[in-house]
Structure 1
Amino acid sequence: MVRRLRGRAEWRFFGVLVRADRRLGVAWWVLLVVRGALPAVFAVAMGWLVGAVQRGEGLGAPLGLMGTTFVLLQVLTPVHQAVSANLGSRVSAYLNDALAKACVGPPGIGHLEDPELSEDLTVAREFDQGQTGPPMYLNVDFVAGSLVELVGGIASAVVLFGFTWWAPLVLVAAWSATHWLLRESGVWKDRNTAEVRAAQRHATYAYELAVEPDAAKELRLFGLADWTVRRFTERRRRLFELQYAATRLRERPMVWSLLIVVVANGLVFWALGSAAIDGRLPLDRLVVFAQVAIGVGMIAFGGLNWALDGAAAPVAAVQRLEPAMAPAGALSTGHRPAGAGPVEIGLRGLRFSYPQADRQVFDGLDLTIPAGSSLAVVGQNGAGKTTLAKLLCRLYDPGSGTIRVDGNDLRDLDVDAWRTRVAAVFQDFLKLELPLRDNVAPAGAPEADIRAALADAGADDLADLDTRLATGYGDGTDLSGGQWQRVALARALCAVRQGAGLVLLDEPTAQLDVRGEAAIFDRILTATRDVTTILISHRFSTVRHADRICVLEHGRVVELGSHDELMALGGRYRTMFDLQAQRFTAEVDEEGLSYDTL
């Protein structure tokens, strides 16, 4: 029982309040209890005042208690709201910090691509954006207000025991019944079902389509603006319907609730009235007990309300992700030094599949890449080209088989040390809203190396090194897709100057024209002639410049050799090359420039 309770999302939420900020968390609870007790204290003070008037006693003390209680009732509410808002912000920061550490901490990336973790990751990442519910600082305040009502009802019930033992029990039972009767099902789970979370994801996705700049061009070009708004509206309506269905009022329970509440209050107030008429209950005590009998009704309006679902869900998601992400993104620990200079790579019997996927990307892949050579990898989409780059960067470990680097199993090398020897440019390369200098060398490098890398990538005239590459800043600027690719290439070339011995280029110049790509790759080969280079590209005008070309198909190497050797072979590579070359049968293009790059 206790274990189940501690595992609930709501319990986790309350536990994280003090961990996020101890002083604010303690203050939040103290203010909550004090605010909840004040209505009962005010009722007692009122009875004291009436009794003092009846007995002709001094009124200073009861008036002082009433005045103090009244002032506190007025003052503590905004104070508690301010504490709740600040505590909610601290909770948000705490959760975001924990999520960032959980995401970045594992040396691999399997935890970020694991379908079983994607739902929790979405909830944990987007909880404070206001799309799936109020942000955390409002949720904490809503929860506080509801719990104040609950504490107030309980405090009133405690005072009512001074009249008779059964009266508070009857009222507490009656008002508590409304929580069970007036809800289709408990707030504990039905506002956080898989169906509700799926509706939240769909609604958020539709919203992002409408407001994010990436989709703006196509939405307008294809006339999808109305469709996007309609889709967002439908998804949000569906989300609201599901959330409402979890807590909606039902006609029959409403009638039963009214009947129970009326009967219970009728019994208690009949008993109070009878006792007062019979002289068993003096006026001052009647005033107190009548007020607290009404105050017990706060139980119906307090408790664990709907806001707790939105506040508890991300807390539970983050706490589930923290232990799950570490093993999902774990790699075997290696301790061997990574060495220096160009690397020789040998793949033997390599097998690999992604988390929760049935299909093997590689099924016994064998390949040797001599140190200091350049290898181009080609193949159809899904052949495993990008996956090969991920494995060589050791973002994943293979399921079976080995990747040997200079004769050592890659898993035996210290992963951080190995990555200092690897420079990579992926298709979805990093764009930092930082100065050009920091985009080329995020970890820092001599200015001479940065400028040389930019020159090698054909990007030496893009901007000043201190120019921020983002338009959201007064001194910032934006770059075209091709210019950004040159910056990404410069980042890899700068890493080579810092000691990297393996360069991985995954479609590194896809946004450049054919002639520009071939020219840039010639310069890259020159800049990386002393290291091992692996190029993944669909453009044969580029891959033909590599020392050897590898054709991947169905997770295996089907052809391997130089451009001339593979052309003479007349196999898969020759077929793909000829198909692509047909687009360039003209001697010159519309600008009068020669198609001599193939």
Structure 2
Amino acid sequence: MVSRLRERPEWQFFGVLSRADPGLAAAWWVLLLARGALPAVFAIAMGWLVGAVQDGDPLAAPLSLMGTTFVLLQVLTPVHQAVSANLGSRVSAYLNDTLAKACVGPPGIGHLEDPGLSEDLTVAREFDRGQTGPPMYMNVDFVAGSLVELVGGIASAVVLFGFNWWAPLVLVAAWSSTHWLLRESGVWKDRNTAEVRSAQRHANYAYELAVEPEPAKELRLFGLADWTVRRFTERRRRLFELQHAATRLRERPMIWSLLIIAVANGLVFGALGTAAIDGRLPLDRLVVFAQVAIGVGMIAFGGLNWALDGAAAPVAAVRRLEPAMAPAGALTSGSVEPAARGAAQVEIRGLSFSYPQADRPVFDGLDLTIPAGSSLAVVGQNGAGKTTLAKLLCRLYDADAGTIRIDGTDLRDLDIDAWRTRVAAVFQDFLKLELPLRDNVAPAGAPDADIRAALVDAGAADLAELDTRLATGYGDGTDLSGGQWQRVALARALCAVRQGAGLVLLDEPTAQLDVRGEAAIFDRILTATRDVTTILISHRFSTVRHADRICVLEHGHVVELGSHDELMALGGRYRTMFELQAKRFTAEVDEEGLSYDTL
């Protein structure tokens, strides 16, 4: 029973308050209880004042109590709201810190690409952006306000025991029934249905189209601005409709709630009136018990369930992700140190690999040998496994079966961190750091001479000064084009080679460069990496042909392997793909009058 209670999102939300900030959490609870008790204290003070007036007693004490209670009621509310806002911000920071550690902690990346964790990841990432619900600082304040009313109702019920034992029980039961009746009709859990989540994703996507800078140019160019706003409005309206349908108050439960409350209040106030008429209940006590009888109504169904639903969802998502991400991204590190420098030889034997929840394997018995110091280009259709091969070589995943050997040693036996210092990679979605150029090229640090040489090799010698920040959001920052950023990413890999990397992985490394620029850059890359092993993944055959050997992947297997001339003579898949792409360059000159000389 206790374990099930602790697994509830609401319990987890309250538990995270003290972990986020123990001092603020303690103040939050104290203020909450004080605000909840003050209405009952005010009712007692008023009864005391009425009795003092009737009996001709001094009024200073009851008036002082009433005045103090009234002032506290006015003062504690904004104080509590301020504490709630600060505590909510601390909870947000705690959740974001926990999520960040859970994301970057595992040595692999399986946890970030696991479809089974994607929904929780979306909730955990987006909870404070106002799209999936109110920000946490508002949620904490909403919960506080609702709990103050609940505590106030309970405090009033305690005072009402002074009239009769059954009166508070009847009222508490009546008002509590609204929680069951109206929550049952609301079906709060239905706000997390697949349909609601789908509507949320569509709304978020339309919103990002409208506010993000990347799509702004084409939205305006193609006249899609109004369409984007309409789409966002329609998707958000649909989301609100679904959420309302899941939480609306239905007619029958509302009628039952009203009947139960009317009967219960009729019994209690009838008994109070009868007792007062019979003279069994003095006026001062009548004033107190009538007020607290009304105050018990604060127990009624209100915004607590809704507020807790919004506040607890991201907390529960992060708490679920925290233990799930470590095993999903876990890799066992070996203890063997790779060679300190020099080209790495790669031998792949019987390699099999599937992504989590995938319908079919990416590789099923892949065999491939890459001699040390050679360059290999990998080509194939989308989904053939080219990028997956790069991920496995970086040991971001482990194979399901088979082996990858580096200089004769199983990759799983190598120390992961040490191996990654021996690998330099440029992926399609390469890293863009809002840091100076120096730190973008050498995040782990390197001599300026090596950084400058790497920039020269990448064709980015005159891009900017090393201390220039690569972001326009700063006073000394600068903006880069897509091709310039790609040259920075290439420089990062080439600088790593100068620091001792023995394997270079280039996944579409020049996709944002023009064809002539790509060929020229790749020639320089091959020169800069002539003493290491280079693997190139590209769709551009003008670049691919420069590699020592070319591997054609299809359905996770090597179907052709050889030099450009050998594969052209073979007349197979490579030649077909090459000639299809070469048709674009049959003209002698382009529209600028420049000669095509890249094929």
Which residue of the partner structure matches residue 576 of structure 1?
577
- The alignment status of 1:486 with 2:487, answered yes or no, reads yes
Distance 2:191 2:579 in 1: 58
Q: Distance in 1 between matches of 2:180 and 2:202?
A: 31
State the TM-score, normalizing by the size of structure 1.
0.97
Aligned position for 2:275: 275
Q: Is the Cα contact below 8 Å between 1:504 and 1:534 reproduced in 2?
A: yes
**Equivalent residue number for residue 247 of structure 1:** 247
Q: CA separation in 2, counterparts of 1:472 and 1:431?
A: 14
The Cα of 1:69 is off from its aligned counterpart by 0.9
Partner amino acid, structure 1, of 2:255:
V
- What does 1:436-475 correspond to in 2, within 5 Å? 436-475=437-476
Letter in 1 for 2:120: D
Farther-moved stretch of structure 1 (314-323 vs 535-544):
535-544
Q: TM-score, normalised by structure 2?
A: 0.97
Look up the equivalent residue of 1:463 and give its one-letter code: A
Rounded to whole Å, the distance in 2 between the matches of 1:196 and 1:541 is: 47
**More off after superposition, 570-579 vs 428-437:** 570-579
Aligned-partner Cα distance in 1 for 2:303–2:427: 51
User: Residue in 1 aligned with 2:136?
Assistant: 136
Match of 2:427 in 1: 426
Alignment of 1:556-567 (within 5 A): 556-567=557-568
- Tell me what 2:211 maps to: 211
Mapped contact 1:184–1:248 kept (Cα < 8 A): no
Distance 2:246 2:203 in 1: 18
The one-letter amino acid paired with 1:46 is M
1:187, distance to aligned residue in structure 2 (A) = 5.9
Q: Give secondary structure in 2 for the equivalent of 1:297.
A: helix
Deviation at 1:152, TM superposition (A): 0.2
1:586 aligns with 2:579: no
Q: In structure 2, the residue corresponding to 1:68 is in which secondary structure?
A: helix
- What is the 5 A alignment of 1:202-351? 202-300=202-300, 302=302, 304-340=304-340, 341-351=342-352
> Residues of 2 paired with 1:69 and 1:271: CA distance?
29
Residue 521 of structure 1 pairs with residue 522 of structure 2: yes
Q: Equivalents in 1 of 2:550, 2:252: separation in Å?
A: 75
Alpha-carbon separation, structure 1, partners of 2:178 and 2:359: 50
Q: Which moved more, 1:392-401 or 1:376-385?
A: 376-385
Matched residue type, 2:546: H
In structure 2, how many angstroms separate the alpha carbons of the residues matched to 1:150 and 1:159? 15
Between 254-263 and 459-468, report the one with greater CA deviation.
254-263
Report if the CA contact (8 A) 2:176-2:301 is conserved: no
- Within 2, Cα distance between the matches of 1:344 and 1:193? 50
Match of 1:116 in 2: 116
Q: CA deviation at 1:302?
A: 4.9
Correspondences of 1:156-235 after superposition (within 5 Å) = 156-183=156-183, 185-186=185-186, 189-235=189-235
Q: Deviations over 1:174-201 (max 9, x none)?
A: 2222223334535652333333233222
Deviation at 1:338, TM superposition (A): 1.9
Determine helix, strand or coil for the equivalent of 1:433: coil
Distance 1:55 1:532 in 2: 100
CA apart distance, 1:402: 0.4
* Residue equivalent to 1:363: 364
Q: C-alpha distance in 2, partners of 1:180/1:301?
A: 8
Separation in structure 2 between the aligned mates of residue 205 and residue 515 of structure 1, nearest angstrom: 36
Moved more, 449-458 or 539-548: 539-548
CA contact (8 A) 1:386 1:506 kept: yes
Residue 554 of structure 1 is matched in structure 2 by 555
Contact 2:374/2:548 (8 A) holds in 1 = yes
- The CA deviation at 1:55 is 2.8
Alignment match, 1:155: 155
Q: 2-side partners of 1:196 and 1:31: how far apart? A: 36
Contact 1:36 1:150 in 2 (8 A): yes
The gaps in structure 1 that reach 5 residues or longer are: none
Name the amino acid aligned to 1:528.
T
CA change 1:255–1:188 in 2 (3 A) is closer
Opposite residue 420 of structure 1, the aligned amino acid is T
Q: Mapping of 1:398-417 within 5 angstroms? A: 398-417=399-418
- Number of equivalent positions: 598
Q: For residue 396 of structure 1, what is the amino acid of its counterpart?
A: Y
SS at match of 2:597: coil
Please identify, of 220-229 and 205-214, the stretch whose mean Cα deviation from structure 2 is larger: 220-229
Q: Once the two structures are aligned, what percentage of the paired residues are identical? A: 90
Give deviations 1:259-302, integer Å, cap 9, x for gaps.
Answer: 22222112111111111222211222111111111111111155
**CA distance, structure 2, for counterparts of residue 27 and residue 302 of structure 1:** 24
Conservation of the 8 A alpha-carbon contact between 2:331 and 2:397: yes
Moved more, 64-73 or 48-57: 48-57
- Aligned AA (1:314): P
Q: Distance in 2 between matches of 1:573 and 1:8?
A: 57
Where do 5+ consecutive residues of structure 2 fail to align? none
Is the 1:180–1:186 contact (alpha carbons within 8 Å) kept by the matching residues of 2? no
Counterpart CA distance in 2 for 1:404 and 1:35 is 67
Residues 502-552 of structure 1: per-residue CA shift (max 9 Å, x gap): 100011011112211111111111111111111111112212111111111
Match of 1:498 in 2: 499
Q: Residue 351 of structure 1: SS of its match in structure 2?
A: strand
Q: Once the two structures are superposed, what CA deviation does each residue of 1:118-161 show, in whole Å capped at 9, x if it has no partner?
A: 00100010001111211110110011001100100000000000
Corresponding letter in the other structure for 2:493: A
| Structure 1 range deviating more: 36-45 or 211-220 | 211-220
- Return the alpha-carbon distance in structure 2 between the equivalents of residues 513 and 79 of structure 1: 61
Q: Per the alignment, in what secondary structure is the counterpart of residue 486 of structure 1?
A: helix
Give the letter for the 2:453 counterpart.
A
Rounded Cα–Cα distance in structure 2 between residues aligned with 1:185 and 1:439? 55
- 67-76 vs 215-224, which moves further: 215-224
Please give the per-residue CA displacement for 1:97-129, whole angstroms capped at 9, x wherever unaligned.
Answer: 111111111111111111111001000100011
1:254 Cα deviation after fit: 2.5
Does the 8 Å contact 1:183/1:250 carry over to 2? no
Contact persistence 1:374–1:546 (CA under 8 A)? yes
Contact kept in structure 1, 2:347 and 2:368, CA below 8 Å: yes
**1:533 corresponds to:** 534
Which has the higher mean CA deviation after the structures are superposed, 579-588 or 553-562? Answer: 579-588
Partner in structure 2 of residue 45 of structure 1: 45
Q: Secondary structure at the match of 2:304?
A: coil
The one-character-per-residue Cα deviations of 1:196-221 (angstroms, maximum 9, x if unpaired) are: 23322221112112211222233333
SS in 1 for 2:516: helix
- State the distance in 2 between where 1:353 and 1:103 align: 21
CA 1:575 to 1:250, structure 2 compared with 1: closer, same or farther past 3 Å? closer
Amino acid at match of 1:455: V
Which letter does structure 1 place at the counterpart of 2:331? L
CA distance in 2, matches of 1:414, 1:75: 60
> Is the aligned partner of 1:63 residue 2:63?
yes
Kindly provide the amino acid, as one letter, of the partner of residue 35 in structure 1.
Answer: R
The offset of 1:250, in angstroms, is 2.1
Q: Secondary structure at the match of 1:191?
A: helix
Residue identity opposite 1:275 in structure 2: A
Instruction: Give the AA of the match of 1:363.
Output: D
Aligned equivalents of 1:302 and 1:584: distance in 2?
70
AA at the equivalent of 2:117: L
Task: Give the partner amino acid of 2:573.
Answer: R
CA contact (8 A) 1:192 1:313 kept: no
Greater mean deviation of Cα atoms: 413-422 or 47-56? 47-56
Q: Which amino acid aligns with 1:403?
A: I
Partners of 1:337 and 1:109 lie apart in 2 by 22
Partners of 1:434 and 1:534 in 2: CA distance = 28
Aligned residue for 1:214, secondary structure, equals coil
Q: Secondary structure at the match of 1:130?
A: coil
CA contact (8 A) 1:150 1:301 kept: no
Deviation of residue 336 (structure 1)? 1.2
Q: Which amino acid aligns with 2:539?
A: H
Give a deviation string over 1:226-276, Cα, whole Å, max 9, x none. Answer: 332222122211211122122212223333322222221121111111112
